[in-house]
Amino acid sequence: MPSLPDVAPNVAIVGATGAVGVELVRCLEERNFPLASLKLLASSRSAGRQVNFRGQALTVETLGDDSFAGVDLALFSAGSGLSKVYGPKAVAAGAVVVDNSSAFRMDPDCPLVVPEVNAGTLANHRGIVANPNCVAIIAVVPVAPLARAFGLKRLQMATYQAASGAGAAAMEELRASTQAQLEGRPFSPQVLPHPYAFNLFSHNAEVDAESGYNGEELKVIEECRRILDTPELPIGVTCIRVPVLRAHAIAMTLEFDRVVTPEEVREVLAAAPGVRVVDDRARNHFPMPSEAEGQGDVLAGRVRRDLGDPSGRSIALFVAGDQLLKGAALNAVQIAERLVPAAKPQLRSGELVGAS
Ligand code: A2P
């Protein structure tokens, strides 16, 4: 099993020109991640492109079989097909892989990690660590401490998902279609299946004909259960794409083992690592994608009793998190920080070192 050196590692990013890849580069720079070298890999379309990193111009290289020689840590974000092919090659070359795709998320040999929740599972990796689905990450950051405090019996969610989850091309399609609509020009979508400007639609993942659930919803359910280590937890979710560029929001209802008050919930959330409470009833100010954008924390608020459950055991919440940061690149870099001994001092004070 590959492990990371005590000294600063040689790092590669696969998919460095994509929506998440660009944020990976930025997170490594902003968090002062200790690295000896950084290699940027993408398709041949991007080869030769220059990217600035710590004042130096790095040249994007074409991903190939030889790309991982000398690489200690590879951060993948180029889709599950490429992860399945090149992830094992990177491990064979001696690298530890943190993979942002869905390729290995349900593989028992690959821990599925949100550092605030289950960093302890990292000890079991065999070369590949999976970075969870963006909705699953943004959901479990506030849900896990509440589940720990009160015992979770059931979780019900509806998502409001940004374009960024479908990649840089979908973000561009949202911009271009909005502009076309404002100018009264026709626009035919190429990336997403439905008109995106001034519209919303059921998530574009394939729908299972029998259950009616789409692939995104099934991932969210399976991954939340795995991260929370509650394989039987009843979870229901409806995933919707909304015309927002890069932050997801989730309306959620949590049913606990006992009667829980909104005050108790607010108290737990206020102390939870990675959560910022935004819950101002007087000003009608609650989590919004526009305020989650660019933030590492998940915003949580609208804490109130769920009046649909007269027992008093259910609480409703609204949360928002940056899909490209905590939902993807930031979580991957936080995982890398746990793996690299030299990065330990970089951990933010709010994170629970060794949480399991
Ligand atoms: P490229 O920009 O050269 O196409 P996004 O999720 O935003 O669509 O980004 C996908 C990332 O995966 C991009 O960096 C993209 O590079 C990269 N990618 C796509 N296809 C390949 C490929 N065949 N080989 C290497 N990288 C790829």
- Cβ 321 under 6 angstroms from ligand 1: no
Residue whose CA is closest, atom 2 of ligand 1?
17
**Can you tell me which atom of ligand 1 is nearest the CA of 44?**
3
Give the number of other CB atoms < 10 A from CB of residue 92: 11
- Ligand 1: distance of its center to the CA of 43 in Å? 6
Active site (annotated) includes residue 110: no
- Cβ 21 under 6 angstroms from ligand 1: yes
Residues 6+ apart with CB under 8 A from 166: 191, 192, 204, 241
Cα 160 from chain centroid (whole Å): 14
The whole-angstrom separation of Cα 299 and Cα 29 is 24
- Cβ 45 under 6 angstroms from ligand 1: yes
Q: Which amino acid is at 280?
A: D
Distances (CA, A) of 334 to 7, 15, 115: 17, 18, 7
- Cβ 12 under 6 angstroms from ligand 1: no
Per-residue pLDDT of the chain (356 residues; tens, 9 = 90+): 788 888 899 999 999 999 999 999 999 999 999 999 999 999 999 999 999 999 999 999 999 999 999 999 999 999 999 999 999 999 999 999 999 999 999 999 999 999 999 999 999 999 999 999 999 999 999 999 999 999 999 999 999 999 999 999 999 999 999 999 999 999 999 999 999 999 999 999 999 999 999 999 999 999 999 999 999 999 999 999 999 999 999 999 999 999 999 999 999 999 999 999 999 999 999 999 999 999 999 999 999 999 999 999 999 999 999 999 999 999 999 999 999 977 764 444 344 433 33
Residue 11 near residue 71 (C-beta atoms within 8 A) = yes
**Can you tell me which atom of ligand 1 is nearest the CA of 45?**
3
**Can you tell me which atom of ligand 1 is nearest the CA of 42?**
26
pLDDT digits (tens, 9 = 90+) for 226-281: 999 999 999 999 999 999 999 999 999 999 999 999 999 999 999 999 999 999 99
Active site (annotated) includes residue 125: no
Give the number of other CB atoms < 10 A from CB of residue 186: 6
